Each structure stands twice: as C-alpha cells, then as structure tokens.
C-alpha cells in the first residue's frame, strides 16, 4: 500500500522519530513505520500524538537535535499543525524533516478537498507530489536529502489514490546514520524575535529560489513524436498516472509531449522558461487547486483558471479522459455514466454510539445536537447530529448556541454535544475549558468506545499503550473533564438506554439550576470492531414477535443494519448474519415486539 | 497481458481481502499490478469498490466502461458499480438470486460449511477462479491463499475457496 511504501521509505532513510495523528487517508503510515522498525531492528520513536500540532512540534525538535524526523497526517490535520508549520519554514531545520500531508480529492472521507501543495506554497516549503506508491517511497529519501541540503522542511503530498493503491516496491536495508542527538543553541534562530525574522525570511526566499533550480527535482519529460507540434501536457500526482494510461488507451502514448512534475512548488524555473518558449498550447492537470497553473502565469495554459478543468471534485479517469479528448481534438468516447445512489454508510450493528444517539434524541426531541468528527458523525442519519465542523468544534459550538439563545432572550432549547473519546483528547479539552469558564450550560456526551474507530482502531491516550505496542502512561477522560472545571460528571453504558436517558434528564436539570454549567456524561461501550471487547459482552438471541405492527419506528429512529422490513408481511425481521446480539433494540420497540433472550 | 478487474461490495464484506489476493497472485506470476481500495467512512457498511489492474499500467483507477471482469460480493452494489464494466464483460455475483450475471450463493455455501458469513468472499473468488477469463488459474490463487493468509483463517478460507471452485466446475 502507498502508505506502507512511504513508511518503508522513512525507515530506509534512517529517520529516528515519526509522529502522527490518525486520519484517512494517512492513517496506515505510522503503524507501518512501527512494524518495519521492529522487523528491521532499527531504533525509532514512533508515536500517535494527541493531535497534529503536537506531533509536528515533537518531530521538529528531533530534527533540531540533528536527527531525521517525519510527521504524517491528513490534509485537515495540517490545518491543526499550521502554526508550527509556517514558523518552521522561517527557522528551518537541522536533521532532515519531512511532512506527509495526505490530500483527499473528491473528497472521500474529509471535511474539505483542500490542496496541501497550496499550503506548502503559502508556507514557502518545497512539496513533492508522487503518482504511485513506488514513486512515493523513492521521494522519501530525496525529501530528506533536500531538507538537509537547505535546512528546510520538505512536504510529501500523496493523495488518497496513492495512499490506498497497492504495488510491489523494491526494498533496501535501512540506512544507519550515526547521529547522536545534539541540540546546538542559537537563540537568534530557534527563538527568532521579530528583529531576526526579516533576515530569516530573506534566507527562506533565497532557499526557495535555489531549490527552483535543482536539476534532480526538475519535471520528467516524455517527448511526443511530433504529431502534436507546439502542444504539451503537464501533470502531477496521480493525475499524471491517469493521463498516461488514458493516452495509451487512446493510442496517443508517446505521440504528444508529456511532462510529469514531481515538485509542483517551487516550480522549476528553467521549465517555466522552456514552456513559454516552445509551446503554443499547454494543458495542466493537477489536484485539487491550480498550484502549478498559478506559477506558470501564461495565457497558453488551459486548466482550472480557464475552466477547462472542473474547479472541484476528484480528477477521475472519466473526467481526465474527456478533457484529454477535447484538448487533443479527438472525438469524445461515449462513456458509461455512474448512476446516483448506492448504499450509504451507517453505524455498525451493536455500536454503542447508536444506543447513545437514540437516548439523546428520545430525551430531548426539540434539542440542538452539535456533533464532531468520527464514526459518530453518522449519527446525522439518526437525526442526532446537527453539525459536523472540525475536530473539537462541537463543544465550542454548543457553547456558542447557548450564548446565542441565552442572549436572545427566548426559550433555550436543550443543547447536547456529542464527541468521541479520541476527538476529545485531540481538540476537545481547550473547548471544554472555555465553555466552563464562560458559564455555558449544555450537556456534553463523550462517546467513549475506547479507541479511534473510524481510522482503524488506533489506541487513545486512555489505552495506556503506545504506537509501538509498549506501555504508556494512561490519561483518563474523567480526570480531564474534572480538571476542566466540570461539576457534573456521570458515566454509564449506553446499551442501557433507560439508564442513559435518566442520566441525561438529571444532567439537563443540573444545567438549568442557578449554579449549573456544563454537564458531562461519559457513555462508555467498546467498539464492536474490537473483537476482544465483543467476545467479552453477553450475546442475545433476538426475535421479533407477532406484535410487530410494521410501524417502522426501529427502522427509522434506530437504523440498525440488522433490522430489516419484510416487504411481504410488512413486519420487521432480524438479519441473523448482521445481528451481533447486543440486545439494545429490545428497548427501542414502542410495542415491545423485539425480544432478547440470553444465548447460552 | 492487460486485465482490469473491479471488486464491489459493502464495507466489511472482505473486498479488500480479495483485492490483495488477486494482486499477490499477479505479483507471484511476475506480472506488474496496481490496485486501489476504499478506506474510511464508506467502510462502515457503505458501498465500497476496489480495482485491480494487471499489466503495464501506471494509475490505480479503472475508467468507467473499461473493466474486463467484475466481482460483486452482493447484488446490492450491482446498480452502483456495474457501469465500470466493459460492454459484455462478465459480472460474478455472490448471491442466491439469479439474474443477468453469473452467480454463486456465497453466503449459503459459507453457512452450509459452518463458516462465518465473511467467508462468502472466498467462495466467490473460488467460483471465478474456476471459470475461464481470469489472468491466473485456480492453482495460483490457492497457492497465494496458503502463503499469505494468517494461519488462524487459512483452513476456513481454503474451504470456502474450494467450495466456490466446485460450484463452477459442476456447471
């Protein structure tokens, strides 16, 4: 897998610290770093940090001590780490420092389809754009060398299609760099106050200008046979790979001049001059923003700025195919159109989040439900998640909704924010402190499934285990909540819906008392994808009795994938394959028609 | 040799496992191969699709109307993903319901063998392997299954694979 190829590159390059926070499509990088380190016997500190900013700063210090370091995240993670990212371009690094920011054109599993290469350009940091797992691995070593040559962070920007592509790659033994940690004090640089910053900025500009002349990072040219004089195609990232395959399909492989740009920023200066001198028509293919196009500043260029290419969405082969045909004057191949619809994702059968959402919704029918980022965003299907913004935002939004209604003078609805355990550690703590400090009144439910489920079950700080599988100091949600100044804290298993509903009512009463504030309920049930946790819980034989009236309450309000409507009898039946026997739906049927019997 | 295959299903049905096995089989035969997978939100029971491209390809995605072969772990995702197939290309579906496709009752076979439902994916693979048209033969896939499956799943996977293979040879 592309992510594993990147991880292998990190180990082979002699990197000694890798830090990350899980996020699709980057999640598999760090576990693979840990696995390859163990397999090859190299010593590395690999950690799941509590968030991307912390990961970035931790890795940065290792670089300041002269050692190679890598930090990986999804593109919106770089937003979280943007503060240290921008500053580190000015101050520079010592040991090679690589940022992997994985973009998600489409998007498939993200809040935005932003282009990290644009962020690199903003920060004045060089960025490499691989078109395949194999290339991504090769670029890792080059990124470290470039970083050390110019003492500058270097970004590797894979996209979902590179991260999650699989390909065979050649392996080399890890490079062992004999570099004991040595931090050389230099206050003018490492503490740069404004008086030094201007000079550091000048040096940064100079570095970028020189990197734009680096022959090793110049675009790769595949010349055409002269069939299309004065015409050229420029592509970077996986779009280059799509374009290559499509040109082959069209019988145009090797007939039109094709450039693969491996470093979209800073764009090679000679390349820019050459394009201007030699071509009349140029097509620029890149995801997802016009990074190369803006640097080319030429009216010969067709791309996003000329609306030749859609301004949004993934450049799939279907989209690129049509663009190429049009640009090269070929008849359009009639393409099969993707139908709409499909099957939407849903919370797993037996998921504790579903039970918690059902209780929240039943307890507060007119409530406002700010949500957050994780599997539990799927609570929107149940009508129990009204907002989804960015990590930790649900808590601040709950406070903001409270202040809006309180200041407005009208009736204040029940406000219930739901946030996952890992998200709470990541960005929820400052939001909760702020809400408590400013006397907001709402209920915050921590959906604690004891893992980071959406991205593949990475351990949370509560787990007491690190990315290498070694013991770590556990941090407890309840301790943190209390430390944030919360005076009302209860815990329960959401499987017991009546108990959770009564706790929520108690929390609501607390919010409304004169001395009330933020009330926190920790709804704790392990993720059903954690097989060991599932094996520990009792399993029930579920059955629907003749009393089922087909009212659809369980289907519409609970939406368990194991509950299905028998169209013939118009009664609900249990899908024996998907049902995990959690027993929760027996609380849900208004007519008591779903029964649970303990399986022996 | 160039062959493009799609594998379609619902999150959790084992599309990733089949993708991986086909890629390993191609690599074992010394063929170039690149694959693409669905991760993240859609894995929670949503429609997922994987692609396997065998031969000198650079990109991991198969354009609409270009796949030579389709493996569907359920008939539910046929409407969503069938458009990837070339006109006339075969769709192999793991379902009890007959239709305008080749089908094998993967879930039924798994249940009869006392295997978990997820083993249906290997019954489908066995079925496809037994029919002509795949870039590799059943023996190559069986070898990969032996070599690459974690020990605790090996017997189960081989059993399901062979059951699917028998269905196709019986037809």
**pLDDT, tens digit, for every residue of A261-301?**
999 999 999 999 999 999 999 999 999 999 999 999 899 99
Residue B169 confidence (pLDDT): 83
Average pLDDT score over chain A: 95
pLDDT band at B40 (very low <50, low <70, confident <90, very high): low
- Interface residue B108 vs chain A (CB under 8 A): no
Strand ranges (DSSP E) for chain B? 3-10, 33-36, 47-54, 67-72, 85-94, 102-104
ipTM score here?
A: 0.90
Element (H, E) at A285: strand A281-285
Please state, in angstroms and rounded to a whole number, the distance separating the CA atoms of residues A351 and A527: 6
* Eight-state DSSP code of residue B6: E
- What single string gives the DSSP state of each residue in A477-520? HHHHHHHTT--EEEEE-TTSHHHHHHHHHHHHHHHHSTT---EE
Q: Which residue in chain A is spatially nearest to B38 when comparing CA positions? A: A164
- Which CATH number is associated with domain A2-211? 3.40.50.970
A538-598 CATH pick, 3.30.70.20, 3.30.1330.10, 3.30.420.40, 3.40.630.30: 3.30.70.20
**Strand order of the sheet with strand A488-492?**
A416-420, A443-448, A519-524, A488-492
Percent of chain B predicted with pLDDT > 90: 78
Q: Which chain A residues have a beta carbon less than 8 Å from that of B2?
A: none
Which of A502, A586, A495 shows the shortest CA–CA distance to A545? A586
Q: What distance separates the 2 farthest-apart alpha carbons in chain A?
A: 82
* Eight-state DSSP code of residue A217: G
- Interface residue B154 vs chain A (CB under 8 A): no
Q: Is the pLDDT of residue B93 over 80?
A: yes
CB contact under 8 A, A318 and B64: yes
Residue B14 confidence (pLDDT): 87
Angle ∠(A166,A167,A169) on CA atoms, nearest 5: 130
Q: Is the pLDDT of residue A600 over 60?
A: no
Residue A409 confidence (pLDDT): 86
Ramachandran category for residue A226: left, alpha or beta (phi over 0 → left; psi -120 to 50 → alpha) = left
Q: Is the pLDDT of residue B41 over 70?
A: no
- Interface residue B62 vs chain A (CB under 8 A): yes
pLDDT digits (tens, 9 = 90+) for B103-119: 999 999 999 999 888 89
pLDDT digits (tens, 9 = 90+) for A308-342: 999 999 999 999 999 999 999 998 887 767 666 56
CB contact under 8 A, A244 and B77: no
Which residues on adjacent β-strands are paired with residue B7? Answer: B50, B71
- Interface residue B83 vs chain A (CB under 8 A): yes
- Interface residue B57 vs chain A (CB under 8 A): yes
What is A352-527's CATH topology? Rossmann fold (3.40.50)
Q: Which 3 state secondary structure label does DSSP give A462?
A: helix
pLDDT digits (tens, 9 = 90+) for A386-435: 999 999 999 999 999 999 999 988 899 999 999 999 999 999 999 999 99
CB contact under 8 A, A336 and B36: no
Q: Is the pLDDT of residue A256 over 80?
A: yes
Measured CA to CA in angstroms, residue A444 lies from A344, A500, A518, A562 at distances of 27, 13, 7, 29
Strand ranges (DSSP E) for A44-123? 45-48, 69-74, 97-102
The domain segmentation of chain B, as residue ranges, is 3-166
Q: In CATH terms, are A352-527 and A538-598 the same topology?
A: no
Here the tokens at position A538 are 């009792």
Please state, in angstroms and rounded to a whole number, the distance separating the CA atoms of residues A274 and A506: 72
Residue A311 confidence (pLDDT): 92
Please answer whether residues B61 and B40 qualify as being in contact, where contact means their C-beta atoms are separated by less than 8 angstroms.
no
Q: Which 3 state secondary structure label does DSSP give A25?
A: coil
Here the tokens at position A413 are 């609805």
Residue A342 confidence (pLDDT): 62
- Distance, in angstroms, between A583 CA and closest chain B CA? 20
Please answer whether residues B53 and B7 qualify as being in contact, where contact means their C-beta atoms are separated by less than 8 angstroms.
no
- Interface residue B55 vs chain A (CB under 8 A): no
CB contact under 8 A, A249 and B43: no
Which of A479, A392, A404, A483 shows the shortest CA–CA distance to A444? A392
Residue A109 confidence (pLDDT): 86
Residue A63 confidence (pLDDT): 98
Q: Sign of torsion, CA A102 A210 A290 A334? A: negative
Q: Which chain A residues have a beta carbon less than 8 Å from that of B62?
A: 317
Q: Is the pLDDT of residue A581 over 80?
A: yes
**pTM of the predicted protein model:** 0.94
Give phi and psi for B2, each to the nearest 5. -135, 125
**Residue with the larger pLDDT of the pair B149 and A230:** A230
Which CATH class name applies to A216-327?
alpha beta
Q: Is the pLDDT of residue A220 over 80?
A: yes
- Distance, in angstroms, between A413 CA and closest chain B CA? 31
Please answer whether residues A56 and A85 qualify as being in contact, where contact means their C-beta atoms are separated by less than 8 angstroms.
yes
pLDDT digits (tens, 9 = 90+) for B151-171: 888 999 999 999 999 998 876
* Eight-state DSSP code of residue A125: -
Please answer whether residues A544 and A571 qualify as being in contact, where contact means their C-beta atoms are separated by less than 8 angstroms.
yes
Please answer whether residues B36 and B48 qualify as being in contact, where contact means their C-beta atoms are separated by less than 8 angstroms.
no
Element (H, E) at A531: helix A531-536
- Interface residue A260 vs chain B (CB under 8 A): no
Please state, in angstroms and rounded to a whole number, the distance separating the CA atoms of residues B108 and B95: 8
Here the tokens at position A71 are 């930090």
- Interface residue B152 vs chain A (CB under 8 A): no
The domain segmentation of chain A, as residue ranges, is 2-211, 216-327, 352-527, 538-598
Please answer whether residues A12 and A40 qualify as being in contact, where contact means their C-beta atoms are separated by less than 8 angstroms.
no
Residue B38 confidence (pLDDT): 76
CB contact under 8 A, B36 and A164: yes
Residue B118 confidence (pLDDT): 86
pLDDT digits (tens, 9 = 90+) for B43-68: 666 788 999 999 999 999 999 999 99
* Region A533-544 average pLDDT: 93
- Which CATH number is associated with domain B3-166? 3.40.920.10
**Residue with the larger pLDDT of the pair A109 and A248:** A248
Please state, in angstroms and rounded to a whole number, the distance separating the CA atoms of residues B17 and B25: 12
Please state, in angstroms and rounded to a whole number, the distance separating the CA atoms of residues B84 and A337: 9
Q: Which chain A residues have a beta carbon less than 8 Å from that of B65?
A: 335-336
- What single string gives the DSSP state of each residue in A348-391? PTT-HHHHHHHHHHHH-TT-B-B--SSGGGGGGGGT---B--ST
Spell out the long-range contacts of A202-205 with Cβ–Cβ below 8 A and sequence spacing 24 or more. A203/A92, A204/A89, A204/A90, A204/A92, A204/A124, A204/A152, A205/A124
Measured CA to CA in angstroms, residue B90 lies from A11, A333, A343, A457, B106 at distances of 43, 21, 22, 37, 17
Peptide bond into A261 cis (omega under 30): no
CB contact under 8 A, B35 and A454: no
Please state, in angstroms and rounded to a whole number, the distance separating the CA atoms of residues A475 and A218: 48
pLDDT digits (tens, 9 = 90+) for A493-507: 999 999 999 999 999
């Amino acid at each position: 897998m592309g992510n594993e190829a990147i991880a292998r590159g990190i180990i082979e390059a002699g990197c000694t610290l890798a830090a990350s926070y899980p996020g699709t499509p980057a999640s598999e990088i760090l576990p693979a770093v840990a696995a390859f380190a163990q397999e090859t016997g190299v010593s590395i500190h690999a950690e799941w940090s509590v968030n991307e900013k912390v990961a970035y700063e931790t890795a940065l210090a290792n670089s300041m001590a002269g050692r190679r370091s890598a930090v990986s995240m999804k593109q919106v993670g770089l937003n979280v780490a943007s503060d240290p990212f921008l500053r580190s371009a000015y101050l520079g690094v010592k040991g090679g420092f690589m940022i992997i920011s994985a973009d998600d054109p489409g998007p498939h599993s993200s809040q935005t389809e932003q282009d990290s290469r644009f962020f690199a350009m903003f920060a004045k940091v060089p960025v490499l754009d691989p078109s395949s797992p194999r290339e991504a691995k090769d670029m890792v070593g080059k990124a470290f060398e470039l970083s050390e040559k110019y003492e500058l962070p270097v970004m590797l920007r894979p996209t979902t299609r590179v991260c999650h592509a699989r390909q065979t790659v050649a392996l080399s033994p890890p490079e062992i760099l004999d570099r004991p940690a040595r931090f050389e004090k230099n206050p003018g640089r490492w503490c740069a106050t404004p008086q030094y910053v201007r000079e550091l900025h000048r040096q940064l500009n100079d570095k970028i200008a020189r990197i734009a002349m680096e022959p090793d990072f110049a675009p790769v040219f595949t010349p055409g046979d002269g069939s299309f004089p004065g015409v050229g195609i420029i592509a970077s990232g996986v779009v280059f790979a799509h374009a290559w395959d499509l040109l082959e399909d069209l019988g145009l492989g090797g007939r039109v001049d094709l450039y693969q740009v491996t470093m979209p920023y800073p764009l090679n200066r000679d390349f820019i001059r050459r394009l201007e001198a030699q071509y009349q028509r140029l097509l620029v293919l890149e995801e997802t923003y016009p990074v190369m196009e803006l640097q080319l500043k030429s009216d010969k260029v067709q791309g996003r700025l000329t609306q030749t290419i859609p301004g949004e969405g993934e450049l799939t082969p279907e989209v690129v195919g049509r663009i190429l045909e049009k640009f090269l004057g070929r008849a359009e191949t009639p393409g099969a159109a993707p139908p709409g619809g499909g099957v939407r994702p849903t919370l797993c059968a037996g998921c504790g989040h579903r039970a918690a959402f059902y209780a929240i919704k039943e307890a507060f029918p007119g409530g406002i439900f700010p949500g957050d980022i994780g599997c539990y965003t799927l609570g929107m299907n149940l009508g129990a998640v009204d907002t989804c913004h960015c990590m930790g935002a649900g808590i601040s939004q709950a406070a903001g909704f409270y202040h809006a209604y309180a200041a407005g003078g009208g009736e204040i609805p029940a406000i219930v924010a739901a946030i996952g355990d890992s998200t709470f550690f990541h960005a929820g703590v400052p939001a909760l402190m702020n809400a408590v400090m400013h006397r907001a009144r709402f209920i915050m439910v921590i959906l604690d499934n004891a893992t980071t489920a959406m991205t593949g079950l990475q351990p949370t700080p509560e787990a007491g285990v690190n990315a290498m599988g070694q013991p770590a100091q556990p941090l407890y949600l309840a301790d943190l909540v209390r430390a944030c100044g919360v005076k009302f804290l209860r815990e329960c298993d959401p499987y017991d819906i009546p108990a959770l509903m009564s706790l929520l009512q108690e929390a609501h009463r607390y919010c409304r008392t004169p001395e009330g504030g933020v009330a926190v309920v920790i709804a704790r049930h392990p993720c059903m994808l954690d097989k060991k946790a599932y094996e520990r819980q009792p399993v029930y034989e579920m059955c629907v009795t003749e009393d089922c009236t087909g009212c659809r309450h369980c289907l519409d309000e609970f939406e368990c994938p194991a509950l299905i409507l028998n169209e013939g009898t118009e009664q609900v039946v249990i899908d024996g394959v998907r049902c995990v026997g959690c027993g929760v739906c027996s609380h849900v049927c208004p007519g008591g028609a779903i029964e649970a019997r303990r399986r022996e | 040799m160039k062959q493009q295959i799609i594998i379609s299903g619902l999150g959790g049905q084992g599309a990733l496992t089949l993708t991986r096995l086909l890629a390993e089989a191609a690599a074992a035969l010394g063929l170039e191969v690149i694959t693409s997978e669905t991760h993240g939100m859609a894995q929670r029971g949503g429609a997922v699709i994987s692609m396997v491209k065998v031969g000198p390809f650079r990109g991991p995605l198969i354009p609409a109307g270009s796949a030579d072969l389709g493996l569907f772990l359920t008939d539910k995702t046929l409407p969503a993903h069938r458009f990837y197939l070339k006109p006339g290309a075969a769709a192999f579906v793991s379902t009890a319901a007959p239709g305008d496709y080749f089908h094998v009752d993967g879930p039924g076979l798994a249940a009869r063998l006392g295997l978990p439902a997820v083993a249906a994916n290997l019954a489908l693979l066995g079925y496809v392997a037994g029919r002509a048209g795949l870039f590799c033969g059943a023996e190559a896939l069986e070898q990969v299954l032996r070599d690459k499956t974690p020990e605790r799943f090996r017997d189960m996977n081989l059993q399901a694979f062979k059951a699917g293979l028998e269905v196709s040879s019986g037809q």
